[in-house]
Structures are given as structure tokens and as C-alpha cells.
Amino acid sequence: MDELNLKALAKINIGLDVLRKREDGYHEVRMIMQTIHLFDRLHIKKTKEPGIQISSNLYYLPVNENNLIHKAAALLMDEFSITEGVEFRLEKHIPVAAGMAGGSTDAAAALYGMNQMFDLGLNMEQLKERGVKSGADVPYCLMRGTALAEGIGEKLTRLPEVPKCYVLIGKPGINVSTKTAYENLNLAGIGKHPDIDGLIRDIEDGDLYAMASKMENVFEPGIIRQYPVIGNIKELMEEKGALKAVMSGSGPTVFGIFDNRDKMA
């Protein structure tokens, strides 16, 4: 196997809570992750020339060690003493810096692809152990589906599929860094945390309407104060028939959950 073509799926957060700041500087989170059918395409090819080569359809993306694909590939090449080179061609469709794990899912695809192409023999748990070294969302992006993520996001519990629904994505022309999101989060001042346990029960019961009513993101108030356009998108989606519209991750992307595709038009 000298070439592979893979889909790297985006994610949204059905619910996102931050519990505390840890002594190591990371934050303890509790969130429900869901992959959606929006994806980047990653073409992987072995090369005779040693090293890692990355190209992309977006001129402003880094194609060096600052790209998570490079970080993930280098980790496996070093560990398994891979002497052949590898070339990655990334066709980017997931918005960048949007709270949808775009970089993490590309890294996950790189890990999965290299494991297959170089016949490394790693199972999913072993891939996830290596994935967290590239980023906290990478293990989930390898796992996909519906999952409860705890710890810094790397402790994953598989959940039943969410009830059938339609998802509309709205990404304003701004970028919000995760660092900014945490700086705008006043943990002591959070009056009401998202009901993650209630969301899990609603997913298990297959109750779309109850699930939608409980969807919340603890980052939203601080980020919307700084970027009111995010709140405007939420309001517009709900006016047009979304059961609920919520910011994904650290933003600024907003997703709306619909029970009817026609309402999304």
C-alpha cells in the first residue's frame, strides 16, 4: 500500500463544560462530542525521498512542524524508525480555528493512515495513546461518533448515536483561539453548568427535543461578549427554526440542530 485517500471528519460539541483548572495548567473538561459529515480530504503517499512533505489548498496553512499532521507523522516515524518518506496533500474544507477540531482530525487521519500504509500494527487504543501527544482532541477524532470526553478531552466513553437530525454550520469571519476562550472564562462566576448527565440520558432515550433543549457551551457568554456576531448567528438560526443553536468548542462556529431539512433553506 503506497497511497491512501482518507476523510478527516469535523466535530461539534453537543455540550461543553469546564470543571476546574489543574495544577499542570490544563483544564478539566466534560463534554459530549459528535462527528458530522463535513470533512477534509487527506491524500498520503510514500516517497523515496526521506522526510515529511505537506501541501495544502490553503496558502496560509503551515506546512512544517507547526502543522499537527507533521507532528503526528514525525512521532510514528521516530518510534518505528521509518526510513521512507511520506507526502501529505491536504484538501481543507473544515473552517480553520473554528472550534471544530480541524487540525486534530487531520492529525488523526495521518496517524490512522500511516499505521495502515506502513503496517505498524497499532490498535485503536494504541493509536489514541499516541494521538494525545499531538493534541487533546486527536484521540476522539480517531474514535469518532458520539462520545463523552473527560480529563483534558482524552478520556473517552462511547455513547449511543444521537437521534436523527440535521446540522447547519455558521462560521463568522473571525477566529477565536482556545487561549482566548479560557482567558474569557470566569470559572468562579459560572452560575449554571451545562447538564452533561441530562444530555447523556436524552441521547440514550433517543429524545432529540429534550437533548436540544439542554445543549450548552460554558464558553459562550464570555466569547459572545467579545464577539456579538456569534450571538447574532445563534438568534438567526433559532428564528429560522433551529431547535437550538450553540457555539462549538472555543468558537466562533455556531451549529444549529434542525428536525427538518427544509427549515435549513
Helix 102-117 to helix 124-131 angle, to the nearest 10 degrees? 130
- Which residues in the chain belong to E strands, given as ranges? 3-21, 27-47, 52-56, 85-91, 146-151, 155-158, 166-170, 244-247, 254-258
Q: How far is CA 211 from CA 48, 92, 182, 203, in A?
A: 51, 31, 26, 7
Cβ contacts of 119 within 8 Å, gap of 6 or more: 1
- Using CB atoms within 10 Å of the CB of residue 263, give its burial: 0 to 12 exposed, 13 to 18 middle, 19+ buried: middle
Question: Which residues are marked as active site?
Answer: 11, 137
Please give the single-letter amino acid code of residue 130: R
Residue type, 229: V
Q: How many CB atoms lie within 10 A of CB 238?
A: 13
Nearest CA to 139 out of 66, 68, 53 is that of: 68
